[in-house]
């Protein structure tokens, strides 16, 4: 029998007990983080569900302690939107975001999370991910740019910081001169004036992700395409949420599009040119399925690596699901169907705009899930691209 430990105040623990009274799990409850850790040191559990604010420690402290004891334990941390924003705005905790579940949905969410288990990944990849002390963070080359943005500096000051690094300057100009933006400029200041500081921050984060790769791979045509694809997917995700669903993009899902193919980056790191050749084959032949080719050659797929990597770093569950299921949002295992469907649609149209149709097939039912008319979306999206290209 699988075991779950709940950590929260007494009245919430009573509601958890009632919700799981007929479940097939063994339930244990604690009212503090220290009490939970004392129990965990005595026996292992399959999952911990905790509030982010405990009387003796915050969720991040408990999370770090649990990861040291049981690296593979599934962790769910409950929060409200205010909590999430507070945590996301603290730089030192930027990779310890919580997974805010509705408590009424916990039994179903718990079932699906425990059923997922660990993917059949090679030991060298698992060891590499498990041994990372932290996710790639803002390095010296990017920090001055983001500091200038955070301090609301004038665009000329931000541009001056960008232009100190030729690589960063080239990346930004490459993006804003792409088909998606459709502007032609050689000026960093003009570029950030056009895209805005929020997009600039997303762009910097995407460059951090590509820093995972060896320098030789980072410079090749294929990885440049993947980088552009991830960035465009994130931009289209935000476009759908704000323009069609009239939603404010929350911190919890803000980088779902950017991270949805992070597993590809890791596979390039481990398999190098061999894997790049696999991607090139998919680029050139729309009939090929990348995940199927990966499964046949390696025994696992990049969405599985993405999910393992993001779950290890306690990334918000909607982002994990978007990475694990972006290719099929109709899968019964998906809890956060809306954001997974949005990312699925976004990655398809990002690929289409790049001429990479075989890289990201479309499941039309995704439009039904988010109650969006496909023909209306395509008409407005194509008009946007046409306008930006002219």
In this predicted model, what pLDDT tens digit does every residue of 295-336 receive, in sequence order? 999 988 999 989 888 877 667 789 999 999 999 999 988 989
The answer to whether residues 370 and 259 belong to one domain is yes
The torsion of the CA quartet 123, 125, 126, 128, rounded to 10 degrees, works out to 120
For the ranges 95-99, 141-145, 160-164, the lowest mean pLDDT is seen at 95-99
> Which CATH number fits the domain that encloses residue 16?
3.40.50.2300
Q: What distances in angstroms separate CA 67 from CA 23, 90, 131, 174, 368, one per listed residue? A: 26, 20, 12, 39, 38
Note the pLDDT of residue 80.
56
Cα separation, 168 vs 211, whole angstroms: 12
Asked if the structure places residue 150 within a domain, the reply is: no
Note the pLDDT of residue 330.
95
Q: How confident is the model at residue 154 (pLDDT cuts 50, 70, 90)?
A: very high
Looking at the DSSP bridge assignments, the partners of residue 226 are: none
Asked if the structure places residue 339 within a domain, the reply is: yes
Q: Is 50 helix (H, G, I), strand (E, B) or coil?
A: strand
E strands, the chain, where? Answer: 3-7, 26-30, 47-51, 74-78
Residues in the chain: 390
In the structure encoding, which two tokens stand for residue 212, read together? 């995972």
The answer to whether residues 223 and 341 belong to one domain is yes
Average pLDDT over residues 184-199: 84
In which domain, by residue range, is 283 found? Answer: 212-389
Asked if the structure places residue 297 within a domain, the reply is: yes
In tens, the pLDDT along 336-388 reads 999 999 999 999 999 998 888 667 889 999 999 999 999 999 999 999 888 77
Cα separation, 268 vs 173, whole angstroms: 25
CA-nearest of 153, 154, 172, 176 to 163 is 172
Average pLDDT over residues 251-280: 87
- According to DSSP, residue 181 is labeled T
Looking at the DSSP bridge assignments, the partners of residue 30 are: 7
In tens, the pLDDT along 49-72 reads 888 889 999 877 898 888 788 877
Q: Is 285 helix (H, G, I), strand (E, B) or coil?
A: coil
The answer to whether residues 97 and 237 belong to one domain is no
In the structure encoding, which two tokens stand for residue 19, read together? 């919700």
The most distant pair of C-alpha atoms in the chain lies apart, rounded to whole Å, by 66
> Which CATH number fits the domain that encloses residue 312?
1.10.3210.10
Output the pTM of the full model. Answer: 0.67
């Amino acid at each position: 029998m699988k075991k779950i430990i709940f950590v929260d105040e007494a009245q919430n623990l009573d509601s958890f007990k009632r919700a799981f009274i007929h479940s097939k799990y063994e339930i244990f409850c604690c009212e503090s983080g220290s009490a939970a850790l004392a129990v965990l040191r005595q026996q292992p559990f399959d999952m911990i569900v905790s509030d982010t604010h405990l009387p003796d420690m915050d969720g991040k402290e408990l999370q770090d302690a649990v990861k040291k004891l049981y690296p593979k334990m599934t962790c769910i941390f409950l929060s409200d939107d205010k909590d999430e924003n507070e945590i996301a705005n603290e730089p030192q905790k930027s990779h310890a975001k919580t997974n805010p579940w509705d408590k009424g949905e916990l039994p179903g969410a718990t079932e699906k999370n425990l059923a997922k288990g660990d993917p059949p990944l090679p030991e060298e990849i698992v060891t590499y991910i498990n041994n990372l002390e932290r996710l790639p963070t803002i390095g010296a080359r990017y920090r001055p740019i983001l500091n200038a943005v955070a301090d609301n500096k004038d665009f000329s000051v931000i541009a001056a910081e960008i232009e100190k690094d030729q690589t960063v300057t080239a990346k930004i100009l490459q993006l804003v001169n792409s088909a998606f933006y459709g502007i032609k400029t050689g000026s960093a200041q003009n570029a950030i004036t056009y895209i805005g500081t929020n997009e600039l921050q997303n762009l910097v984060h995407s460059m951090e992700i590509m820093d995972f790769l060896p320098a030789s791979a980072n410079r090749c045509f294929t990885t440049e395409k993947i980088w552009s694809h991830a960035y465009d997917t994130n931009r289209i995700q935000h476009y759908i949420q704000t323009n069609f669903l009239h939603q404010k993009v929350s911190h919890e899902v803000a980088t779902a599009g950017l991270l949805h193919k992070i597993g590809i980056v890791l596979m390039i790191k481990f398999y190098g040119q061999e894997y790049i050749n696999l991607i090139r084959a998919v680029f050139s032949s729309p009939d090929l399925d990348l995940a199927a080719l990966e499964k046949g050659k390696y025994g696992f797929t990049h969405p599985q690596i993405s999910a393992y990597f993001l779950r290890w770093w306690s990334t918000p569950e909607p982002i994990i699901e978007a990475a694990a299921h972006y290719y099929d949002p109709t899968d019964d295992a998906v809890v956060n169907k809306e954001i997974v469907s949005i990312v699925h649609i976004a990655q398809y149209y990002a690929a289409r705009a790049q001429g990479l149709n075989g890289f990201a097939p479309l499941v039309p039912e995704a439009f039904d899930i988010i109650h969006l008319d496909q023909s209306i979306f395509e008409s407005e999206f194509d008009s946007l691209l046409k306008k930006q290209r002219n």
